[in-house]
Amino acid sequence: MIANLAFYLFSFILLASAVMVVTSRNPVHAVLFLILGFVNAAVLFLLTGAEFLAFILAIVYVGAVAVIFLFVVMMLDVDFVALNEGFQRYAPVGALVALIMFIELAFIAGNWAIAPAGGADRMFPTPDNVTSSVALGNLLYTSYLPVFQLSGIVLLVAMIGAIVLTHRDRKRSLHQNLSAQHARDPKQTLALVNAPLGQGAALPAKQTHEETL
Amino acid sequence: MTELYALLPALVLGLGGMVLLTGGVLAKKSETTPAVTFGAVVLLAVAAVVNLLAPDTLIWNGLFKTSLFTRFADTLVYLGAIAALILSVDYNKREGIARFEYPILVLFAVIGMIAMISAADMLTLYLGFELQSLALYICAALARDNLRSTEAGLKYFVLGALASGLLVYGISLVYGFAGTTNFAALGEVFRSGTAGVGTIAGVVFVLVGIAFKISAAPFHMWAPDVYEGAPTSVTALFATAPKAAAMALFLSVMAGPFGHLTGQWSALIQILAVLSMVIGALAAIGQSNIKRLLAYSSISHMGYALMGLATGTVDGIQASLVYIAIYVVMSFGVFGCVVAMRRNGQSVEKISDLAGLASEHPGFAFAMAVFMWSMAGIPPLAGFFAKLYVFATAFNAGLDTLTIIGIVASVVSAFYYLRVIKVMYFDKGQPNFERVSAGAGFVMAVGAFATIVFVILPGPLMAVAGEAAKALMG
């Protein structure tokens, strides 16, 4: 009874904050509601007994992802009014799509039938005597080790991608090259020009910055 | 030990890729790019050989599976990736995007592709799918100072993320209603040939997610823009390896775990096939950019390949595999030609730029003509036999309407392939193309040679594809 009440309470707050994320005009408010949504989703995980997932959700999504979102929203000069300009125009189509998807989902929910063999086929039933983090670790590092490694490569690719797309060598910064300076000799930088009386001196060809170094 | 042996190609690529990455970072000069690319090609070749020798086995409690089918598809992926890397050396250097990360990203994308192909569990399928997609999004935006390349990368990323979302949603529905993600166990659950509405919805979502990746109509919108915007060497990769991998995944998922539900999904595949063939044929007519033309051409080719799958029989799968194999070879060849289209230090992409090519570069024009004839499906080249097998199996399986639509679409598409030949041989013009680089010339020659040799020697490919199809259908 209390568990049911708690479920409805937290899922209501979750849905309400999700609506607020999409509709609020101030992007900072939207991110704050997103955090509220994450926390409530974490509580829902707690209610089903998956405490490890609840903590991970709170730590990773609230602690890292949402904070980065907040940084991006505050640091980048994004014109959110211009970004929301098309909202009025696209809202009817979006609502129509949402309605169709809702009807379809309702159709699926109405025909809810789990395959008879489904229960027996369930690969890893939740063990009773260990906490969920132990159970998860036991699976992740034994039966699913290759997949775990594969997800590591996915993260490596994400990192390479971020560097490939954004990193630039700063070629313009000036730094002193001592050996080049010491190796210079006067012939490279100094030109003695004969200046006949009354004619002025012809200037030698101009040297570029790289040549003088 | 056999399990480890079967995983060896992925290990070679992964560890080798990390070594190359470390080397590239430490050397920190763009001159290392050819060396890293060479290393990547060697790794791919080693992995391809190891892959051919690997035993048939189920790996790690049924997460992966190797069979003749996976070896066949893997080989196509390796071929496509090696060809794309060879093309990239000279092209990327001239375009000023010779970054050593590119071959490494290709290596990791290939790991994703072979994981996808050998997947025997939804979890492996999804991770492989995501790994290859993520690496390819980055490759599309490789020319990051070029507006169209970044646009291509962003577009590919957003639509690809949508496709991944649909795929995962479908997997979660299938898991929720059937209680397992393992392919063999799923096959058992669906043995009766019927499934609830929830499961069917899941299967449809999975199907849509994969259809996005092979750019089958109506999920093809991204392909022309991405093909056009991405650097040509990257487009050459997009048109070969990922297509072969996603198509193999399509075959292995539909014929594997969902094999007993043929009656439920066959109609959907037929719709995808018809739309792809028709849209690919009609939309390409108005194109003036060769890369956009090839994008629509690849959409229609996916339609023909799907025809084989629509039959749901061993013969159909065999026809699809033969089609994909020939498509990959023609594709890397034709992109070898497109990469070689350079004038005054800039790459040109208009079909009209090819005018008068036959008198200036006869070999180049001949190779291009061979690929165009073959893609149009005009006898006696390889493309004709590919289409013939697909049409014959579809017709024998009773899909006559589909076959007739396919033949009509093929005739329509012949128009724009032949137009390219007409422009090259009969239009007056001065292409003034630069000398064809050794890599592009090599890829062109290999592609054209294979396309012609298949006519004389079709037996081996047909036989291997047949055995592979049998291995898949069990």
pLDDT surpasses 70 at B359 = yes
CB contact under 8 A, A117 and B124: no
Q: Given CB atoms, is B444 within the 8 Å cutoff of chain A? A: no
Q: Given CB atoms, is B168 within the 8 Å cutoff of chain A? A: no
Query: Which range (A22-31, A155-164, B66-75, B453-462) has the least confidence?
Result: A22-31
Domain segments of chain A: what residues? 1-78, 131-165
If pLDDT is split at 50, 70 and 90, which confidence band does A211 have?
very low
Average pLDDT, stretch A121-130?
A: 66
Q: What sign results for the dihedral spanned by CA atoms A71, A73, A75, A76?
A: positive
Residues of B within 8 A of A164 (CB-CB) are 99, 101, 105, 138, 142, 144
Q: Chain-wide mean pLDDT for chain B?
A: 91
SS3 A136: helix
Residues of A within 8 A of B101 (CB-CB) are 160, 163-164
Residues of B within 8 A of A156 (CB-CB) are 18, 108
Nearest beta carbon to residue B105 from set A111, A146, A157: A157
Q: What is the pLDDT of residue A51?
A: 85
pLDDT surpasses 80 at B355 = yes
Average pLDDT, stretch B394-414?
A: 93
Residue B13's closest chain A neighbor by CA?
Answer: A153
**Spatial separation of the C-alpha atoms in residues B382 and B74, rounded to whole Å:** 21
Nearest beta carbon to residue A112 from set B142, B180, B198: B198
CB contact under 8 A, A118 and B134: no
Q: Given CB atoms, is A170 within the 8 Å cutoff of chain B? A: no
Nearest beta carbon to residue A111 from set B108, B182, B196: B196
Average pLDDT, stretch A31-37?
A: 91
If pLDDT is split at 50, 70 and 90, which confidence band does B431 have?
confident
Q: What is the pLDDT of residue A213?
A: 47
B328 neighbors B79 (Cβ within 8 angstroms): yes
Nearest to B316 by CA among B369, B267, B389, B418: B389
Distances (CA, A) of B380 to A56, A142, B41, B424, B456: 61, 54, 33, 21, 10
B249 neighbors B179 (Cβ within 8 angstroms): no
* Highest CATH level, class, for A1-78: mainly alpha
Q: Given CB atoms, is A154 within the 8 Å cutoff of chain B? A: yes
User: Which alpha helices (H) appear in B193-257, and where do they start and end?
Assistant: 197-213, 222-229, 232-239, 241-255
**Spatial separation of the C-alpha atoms in residues B430 and B354, rounded to whole Å:** 8
Query: Which range (A141-155, A191-205, B364-378, B455-469) has the least confidence?
Result: A191-205
Residue A192 C-alpha, separation from nearest chain B C-alpha, in angstroms: 40
Q: What is the pLDDT of residue B73?
A: 95
CB contact under 8 A, B180 and A151: no
Q: Given CB atoms, is A140 within the 8 Å cutoff of chain B? A: no
Tokens read off for B177: 């209603």
Residue B256 C-alpha, separation from nearest chain A C-alpha, in angstroms: 17
pLDDT surpasses 70 at A64 = yes
List all residues of chain B from 85 to 124 with a beta carbon under 8 Å from chain A.
99, 101, 104-105, 108, 111, 115, 123-124
Q: Given CB atoms, is B205 within the 8 Å cutoff of chain A? A: no
Residue B59 C-alpha, separation from nearest chain A C-alpha, in angstroms: 10
- What ipTM describes this predicted complex? 0.92
If pLDDT is split at 50, 70 and 90, which confidence band does A80 have?
low
Q: Given CB atoms, is B11 within the 8 Å cutoff of chain A? A: no
Residue corresponding to tokens 């190797």: B66
Query: Which range (A92-96, B108-112, B156-160) has the least confidence?
Result: A92-96
Residue A162 C-alpha, separation from nearest chain B C-alpha, in angstroms: 9
**Spatial separation of the C-alpha atoms in residues B48 and B74, rounded to whole Å:** 8
B261 neighbors B202 (Cβ within 8 angstroms): no
A181 neighbors B132 (Cβ within 8 angstroms): no
Burial B67-93 (b: 16+ CB within 10 A, else e): bbbbbbbbbbbbbbbbbbbbbbbbbbe
Q: Given CB atoms, is A158 within the 8 Å cutoff of chain B? A: yes
**Spatial separation of the C-alpha atoms in residues B468 and A192, rounded to whole Å:** 81
Average pLDDT, stretch A74-78?
A: 74
Q: Given CB atoms, is A155 within the 8 Å cutoff of chain B? A: no
Question: Under 8 Å CB-to-CB from A79, ≥6 apart: which residues?
Answer: none
Residues of B within 8 A of A108 (CB-CB) are 173, 197-198, 201
Residues of B within 8 A of A161 (CB-CB) are 105, 134-135, 137-138
Please give the single-letter amino acid code of residue A163.
I
CB contact under 8 A, B196 and A165: no
Distances (CA, A) of B297 to B87, B119, B227, B247, B444: 21, 29, 11, 16, 18
**Spatial separation of the C-alpha atoms in residues B294 and A81, rounded to whole Å:** 40
B252 neighbors B69 (Cβ within 8 angstroms): yes
Helix or strand holding residue B343 (H, E): strand B342-343
- In sequence order, the β-bridge partners of residue B65 are B58
Burial B291-312 (b: 16+ CB within 10 A, else e): bbbbbbbbbbbbbbbbbbbbbb
Burial class (CB in 10 A: 0-12, 13-18, 19+), B284: buried
Tokens read off for B289: 């950019």
A155-192 pLDDT per residue, tens: 999 999 999 998 887 666 677 788 888 888 877 778 77
Q: What is the pLDDT of residue A212?
A: 46
CA trace torsion A96, A99, A101, A105 (10° rounding): -170
B246-288 pLDDT per residue, tens: 999 999 999 888 988 888 889 999 999 999 999 999 999 989 9
Residues of A within 8 A of B196 (CB-CB) are 111-115
Q: What is the pLDDT of residue B155?
A: 94
B162-195 pLDDT per residue, tens: 999 999 999 998 888 887 888 988 888 888 877 7
Q: Given CB atoms, is B201 within the 8 Å cutoff of chain A? A: yes
**Spatial separation of the C-alpha atoms in residues B213 and B244, rounded to whole Å:** 10
Inter-chain CB pairs, A–B, below 8 Å = 113
